[in-house]
Each structure stands twice: as C-alpha cells, then as structure tokens.
Amino acid sequence: MTRKLVRFLATLAFALSVTALAQTNSSAAALPAAPSAAAAVPTPTVGTGTKIATINIEQAIFASNEGQREFEALSKKLEPKQGELKTMSDELDSLKKQLNVQEGKLSEDARNNLVNQISQKQKVFDRNMQDARDDAQGQQNEIAQKILQKMAPLLMKYAGDNGYGLIIDTTQPWPQGPVIMAGPSFDITKAIVEAYNTQSGVAPPAATSRPAPTRPAGTAKPATTAPPPTK
C-alpha cells in the first residue's frame, strides 16, 4: 500500500500472520472475501532440518515486485473514492466552522436546522467511510492472499533445501508476536523476496516509484497460517 493510502485509510489492516512453519495447517483461517491459502497448498510432512530462521511475511509480500505493483494499482483504483470522501469531509468541516462562528447569532430555528444538517451529513460520511474501509480491506486481503498462496510453497522449499526445521514469523513485534529478540543473521526475508521475484517474473517498479509500503502501525490482523516446510 502506498503512503497516500496509508494516510487516508490508516485503520486498514490485512491478515498475514504466519506461525511457526513446523506446525500443521489444520486450523488455518481464511481471509475475508478470498480463498484460503491452506486450501490451495497441500500440507507436507514436517521438515527434518535443525536450523532456525525468522521471516517477516508481511514485509516479504509488500516488498516483492508483485506486491508493490498490486498495492500501487489498488491505491490508484481507490483514489476517486478518497476524493469523494475528502469532499464530504471538507463540507462537514465548513458547516461545523459556520456553527462555531455564528453561535449566539443564529435564531433557535436556524441553529437547529444547521445542527440537523451537520448530524445528517456526519451519518452519511461515517457510513461511506466505513464502506470504503471495508471495501479496501477486502481488496487488500485478496492481493495478500494471492501472493501468500504462491510464496508459501517457495518458502517451504527454501526451508527444506537449506536445512531449516523451524521458521518463525516476526510480522508482529513482541509482546504481540512470539519473538522477543532475533539477530539479523536469522532473518531470511530478503532471500525469500529475491527468490519470489525470480519465480514471479514481475519486473521491479520504476525508479520513480515510491518506496515499498508498510502496514499501518497499531492495526489488528486476523491470523493466517502456512503449511510446514518439507525437507
């Protein structure tokens, strides 16, 4: 997601939390309005490697060439709705300022009429804002789910090829996440992004594009799990 979309829809979140890959995937939760990644990826046997690694799954999806392309396209697609909501917000602010400036100068009927206008427009704005958030969340989830479905098998193969028996997602910082501390030598996020870019064949964004987006801080995410790696 681009910075513009993050600023305007700051409460959006998407579900990308991946638990330790040595566990089974029987309890995986499907993302809203999107097929389950678990249903698309067969559950392999547990890997026999002994090495441990960490990966920020969310960062890997956002940083991939495909992720940057898809979320940039989503941001542009949502720009008309953003403009519509901004117009409604500006109109509301104007009416509220008018009420504050003319407070004590308006007749009771005029004041009540202005208050009612503000109240009605606020309800419409709130409803439209929530609908926009829900729609953007659903589309965001679909993009993330699509990429995760293709990235999970690659991650499992990487784990098996390199002797990893446990890979832990660090998308959520401690204490929300399971990892208190892990040095950079454990992190394989960059390696997975590079491998995924090669596999996907999607070209990197143009040099003039904005940096890869990050998830808005402080937003909650439903959990999605990926199958354990094979050896």
Domain boundaries, the chain: 3-200
C-alpha 109: how far from chain center:
47
pLDDT, tens digit, 9 for 90 and up, residues 137-178: 999 999 999 999 999 999 999 999 999 999 999 999 888 888
DSSP class per residue in 177-227 = SS-S---GGGB-HHHHHHHHHHHH-PPPPPTTSPPPP-PPTT----B---P
Return the pLDDT at 33: 35
- 3-class secondary structure, 141: helix
Judge contact between 21 and 38, C-beta under 8 A. no
Q: What is the pLDDT of residues 46-95, one digit of tens each?
A: 557 889 999 999 999 999 999 999 999 999 999 999 999 999 999 999 99
Q: Region 100-129: what's the mean pLDDT?
A: 91
| 209: pLDDT strictly greater than 50 | no
Q: What is the pLDDT of residues 2-32, one digit of tens each?
A: 343 333 333 233 322 333 332 333 333 333 3
- Greater confidence (207 vs 218) lies with 207
